[in-house]
Structure 1
Amino acid sequence: MKIISINVIVVLCSMLLFSSCVKQVLDKAPVSSFSAEDFYKTPADAQAGIYGIYNAVQSAFRINFAYWGEGRADNVQTTQSGEGLILTQNNLNESMTSANWTNLYTIISRANYAIKYIPNAYSGGNGGAQLIGQAHALRALAYFYLVRVWGDVPLIVEPYNSIDQDIFVAKNSSEEVLDQIERDLKLASANCLDRFNSDNDRVMFTKGSANALLTEVYMWRKKYAEAVTSSALVLNNTLYSLAKTMDEWGKIFTGGYSSESILEVGYNETQTNSLRVLYAIGSDPVFFPSVKFRASYEKGDLRIPYVYDTTIAQPKAIWKFLGKGVSDEDPSPSAQNIVLLRLADIVLLRAEALVKLGGASNIAEALSLLNSIRSRAGLPAIENEENAAARYGNLELAILHERSIELCFEGKRWFDLVRTDKAIATMSPINGLSDQRNLVWPIHVSTLNKNPNLNQNDFYR
């Protein structure tokens, strides 16, 4: 099944930009245009094609990582009248910018071309396998956001290269799409490099980042035994280690390329993102810490002064990505990387999976993992399930609370609420969310207008 928007057709049939998120590639001039089938002639062409996919990732996540992952959840508030207010009040509509999936399908279309044609650039053997592995992982990343945001979506695994192909297509079920995501990530895990031994270890897919994303997919699908297996591969990977001090923790986001980071979307002074607009610009950012969030953390948590200014009654700037004490009047675009996956995320997912599986040894390990994150934040250990129950209701809720604090504003909270079936209970008192069909976004009106075989998601009809 295929869906092709006008923008995607242009990408598929005429050009790939190959500026990338990798430092040395950012300085290269773009190629004007080419036929994708004819482009993949040499290994250098194949590498350029992969850089073109990462370039599309930059565009897709520069602001939407927060709209999709934070805007509808309980950790943020807004005083703006635009997209932030639409999301926080749960008044989603088919014209809002975060309802447009074009940039994600651009990632997919470029990945499909790379997967099909990179073998043309190698004269035999296994040449290009690690590049093809990256393309599969990038396609999986895009589809994982699509299925979590919109539910059932069109599944495209071949490039559009003939006028005989059907461009007006219907949706595939979310389970079909998730099955494909798993296949892509397993292939990526088998074929991606262990490491690049450079900053590329953090901004390009490796075996470790493929396994980390696979862990998130397994948790979304409630495949807890599989999540324990894949998370072990991440935790045992010597490429990753937890930041030891709070200053090191802060630099995960402000400096990038830390040992705790697993996958970042890379930016620089030329290719910037909207972190300042989202979290810090002037006295009116898109999002600021909600009253509920500020009341939820434990006294003495060493992370909080790195997240926002605790000395004022109503903090507006979120410092986490931009730096402790950042001037909230700075209107400049942000060059900081966006951290999509990091080790603490996988540690806490593993702890949650172990609790779901149960058993004394699993519970003991889950407590140890949870306390490794709490200890770094200067918090006392949760010693047993009874201790967790007294504080948060049960151990699973203690882990979910820890994710809310540790991963705050990183684009995780909404997805955590949905996958743990807590979105309605959490958000109903805040914005009236009450219908399971309302958990997904509407499909953008421009996409519906281009494809008569696509139906709007049920809640928004």
Structure 2
Amino acid sequence: MKKNIIKISLAALTIFVSLTSCDRNLDQISSINEDQEQAMTRPETFRQAMDGAYTALKGAGYYTSDTGNQLIMGDLTTDNLVRTTTGRNTNFAASNFEFSSDNSQTTGLYTAAYLVISRANFVLKYINNGVLSGTQKTNLEAEARALRAIAHFDIVRAYSQIPTQSAEAKNTIGIYYSETYSPLNNTSSRNLTVDQVYDKVIADLLFAADNITQNDLDKGRLSKAAIYGLLSRVNLYRGDYANTIKYGELALGISSSVTLKSNFYKIWKEKEGDINDGVLFQVSNSAAEQNTVGVAYNQAVPALRSEFVVDYDLYTAYTDNDVRKSAYFTTDIYSKQKYNHVTKYAGITGLPSNIVPVRYLRGAEVLLNVAEAYYRTGNGAQALVLLNKLRAERYTTFTPGTETGQALLDAILKERRLELAFENDRWYTLKRLGLPVQRSGKGDLFDGTGTPPVAQNLPVGSFKWQWPIPISAIQANPNIKQNDKY
């Protein structure tokens, strides 16, 4: 039988993969050709293997390159972005709702997320072999299970229905939940309902929350505050508002900041590690790695050339006293046309462009989750308190709001759109609320003129809210059922 070989480096575990089904066939090769069982007899190897799982978040289909980059997919498929006529047409098909099982724009996440899961399961395979003990063991097991959970969550919300999306959504087809390291697996199937997948995601996160003890100084590794925040996110999607509040409040109790006004611009523009105010978990990135996560939006050639720019109606929703406006946008000319470019991920002047950490989870999102959940459980007063806390840190001049009823919910959802724009939220917010995509009809130029999107809307009942499973996964494992109508 062929043995797997592991490559150990100080940076991370390097894995070469080929898709077999939802899992991967992992050949881990190095110049020293060390058998994986032997390698995993050293404590330091577990840390390197776990860091390799985190590193997989930087792969194509997750947070690097341009095609299918999750930093833009949740926005270009909605009313937040407009394709420019001077770009390269990257991701055009997805923006026009032309989803296809052989197009990596909407299938790349599936492949990338199962790689994260396989690497996490590799760590878990050896976690009880007696090499680790005490907090070193419990922290690594908690990290691996939490990372496995959030990768599955990213898959299920994209490729299956969201529980609050429709009355029957919880009982519709879910995804394969991979809980063992099995690189030759080609018999798995989508044998769980959406609700059952959420059960497993939450079980993994709860185990992690109960067992993790490491501090949150390294934002590139999961901490208790981050895991509580992720539980708040998952429960919001599930429609479990009591637990959205419970775990959100626990997260905010450990890490209360939603990013100070004075730091908001800096968390997007400073070098990694300089300012992390309000960040709970990030995909770390440095100039040495050359992961140009912002390239999906634009390139400096040397003037900004954008693939997509902010929709004019969204741009004008940011008032001049909103600190997010300068952090997210730059109005400039390219090819004799003026655009409102999205430069949230452009980085700091003087450093390589588009190389910044990906803020996977921020305290501001957790606060918005909890505020919405308070509203939906009848506690509008506390929802307003939280909403005003966020708004006080986003507007240079601010008078506390007094909204009630529907106006309060509208204000919470408005701030969610403004706050989390270009952070892979908008598509999934519309999906979980059962709302259509309805674009403004405005064009790509700075004043709303120019060329509008080809497709203007996506109705609530469209099958396209569930992205297609990649054909390569189905060819490798015919047990994986394709979503309807693809």
TM-score range (shorter-chain normalised) is: 0.7 to 0.9
Match of 2:343 in 1: 319
The answer to whether residue 151 in structure 2 is matched with residue 142 in structure 1 is yes
The Cα shift of 1:449 comes to 1.9
* CA shift digits 1:400-453 (9 cap, x unpaired): 11011112212211111112222x154598633123421111112222221222
Match of 2:448 in 1: none
Match of 2:452 in 1: none
Q: Which of 139, 142, 166 lines up with 1:133 in the alignment?
A: 142
> Are the structure 2 counterparts of residues 240 and 367 from structure 1 closer, same or farther at C-alpha, using a change threshold of 3 Å?
closer
Unaligned runs of 5+ in 1: 17-29
Superposition pairs of residues 184-263 of structure 1, within 5 angstroms: 184-195=204-215, 198=217, 200=218, 202-237=219-254, 239-246=255-262, 248-255=263-270, 256-257=272-273, 258-263=276-281
| Distance (Å, rounded) in 1 between the aligned partners of 2:33 and 2:211 | 29
The Cα shift of 1:95 comes to 2.0
| Distance (Å, rounded) in 2 between the aligned partners of 1:135 and 1:212 | 17
| Distance (Å, rounded) in 1 between the aligned partners of 2:181 and 2:312 | 47
Retained in 1: the 8 A contact 2:159–2:468?
yes
The TM-score normalised by the length of structure 2 is 0.79
> Are the structure 2 counterparts of residues 31 and 209 from structure 1 closer, same or farther at C-alpha, using a change threshold of 3 Å?
farther
Amino acid at match of 2:346: L
Superposition pairs of residues 336-351 of structure 1, within 5 angstroms: 336-351=356-371
> Are the structure 2 counterparts of residues 89 and 166 from structure 1 closer, same or farther at C-alpha, using a change threshold of 3 Å?
closer
Superposition pairs of residues 36-47 of structure 1, within 5 angstroms: 36-47=36-47
| Distance (Å, rounded) in 1 between the aligned partners of 2:47 and 2:391 | 41
Greater shift in the superposed pair: 277-286 or 436-445: 277-286
Retained in 2: the 8 A contact 1:77–1:288?
yes
2:280 partner SS? strand
Retained in 2: the 8 A contact 1:240–1:343?
yes
RMSD of aligned Cα (Å): 2.8
Superposition pairs of residues 433-448 of structure 1, within 5 angstroms: 433-434=458-459, 435-448=461-474
| Distance (Å, rounded) in 1 between the aligned partners of 2:278 and 2:48 | 28
Match of 2:177 in 1: 155
Retained in 2: the 8 A contact 1:68–1:149?
no
Greater shift in the superposed pair: 65-74 or 428-437: 428-437
The Cα shift of 1:383 comes to 3.0
Superposition pairs of residues 63-212 of structure 1, within 5 angstroms: 63=65, 64-79=69-84, 80=87, 82-98=89-105, 99-100=107-108, 101-122=110-131, 127-151=136-160, 152-160=174-182, 166-167=186-187, 169-195=189-215, 198=217, 200=218, 202-212=219-229
The Cα shift of 1:146 comes to 0.2
| Distance (Å, rounded) in 2 between the aligned partners of 1:170 and 1:31 | 38
Match of 1:411 in 2: 424
Greater shift in the superposed pair: 150-159 or 278-287: 278-287
* CA shift digits 1:131-177 (9 cap, x unpaired): 0100011101111110011112222111116x6x6535345322222
Higher strand content, 1 or 2: 2
The Cα shift of 1:397 comes to 1.6
1:120 partner SS? coil
> Are the structure 2 counterparts of residues 305 and 456 from structure 1 closer, same or farther at C-alpha, using a change threshold of 3 Å?
same
Match of 1:432 in 2: 457
Match of 1:25 in 2: none
| Distance (Å, rounded) in 1 between the aligned partners of 2:438 and 2:180 | 40
* CA shift digits 1:242-284 (9 cap, x unpaired): 33224x1011122344121111101112323333422231443
| Distance (Å, rounded) in 2 between the aligned partners of 1:167 and 1:128 | 31
> Are the structure 2 counterparts of residues 365 and 310 from structure 1 closer, same or farther at C-alpha, using a change threshold of 3 Å?
farther
Retained in 1: the 8 A contact 2:260–2:277?
no
Match of 1:6 in 2: 18
Retained in 2: the 8 A contact 1:260–1:342?
yes
| Distance (Å, rounded) in 1 between the aligned partners of 2:420 and 2:134 | 43
The TM-score normalised by the length of structure 1 is 0.83
Retained in 1: the 8 A contact 2:468–2:482?
yes
Retained in 2: the 8 A contact 1:76–1:287?
yes
| Distance (Å, rounded) in 2 between the aligned partners of 1:275 and 1:107 | 18
Retained in 2: the 8 A contact 1:8–1:109?
no
* CA shift digits 1:112-138 (9 cap, x unpaired): 121121221526566511001000111
| Distance (Å, rounded) in 2 between the aligned partners of 1:209 and 1:299 | 32
The Cα shift of 1:8 comes to 6.3
| Distance (Å, rounded) in 2 between the aligned partners of 1:333 and 1:14 | 33
Greater shift in the superposed pair: 92-101 or 73-82: 73-82
Greater shift in the superposed pair: 92-101 or 276-285: 276-285
Match of 1:20 in 2: none
Match of 1:267 in 2: 285
Retained in 1: the 8 A contact 2:39–2:45?
yes
Retained in 2: the 8 A contact 1:70–1:411?
yes
| Distance (Å, rounded) in 1 between the aligned partners of 2:321 and 2:81 | 21
1:203 partner SS? coil
> Are the structure 2 counterparts of residues 91 and 121 from structure 1 closer, same or farther at C-alpha, using a change threshold of 3 Å?
same
Amino acid at match of 1:45: T
Retained in 2: the 8 A contact 1:78–1:287?
yes
- Paired residues, number: 423
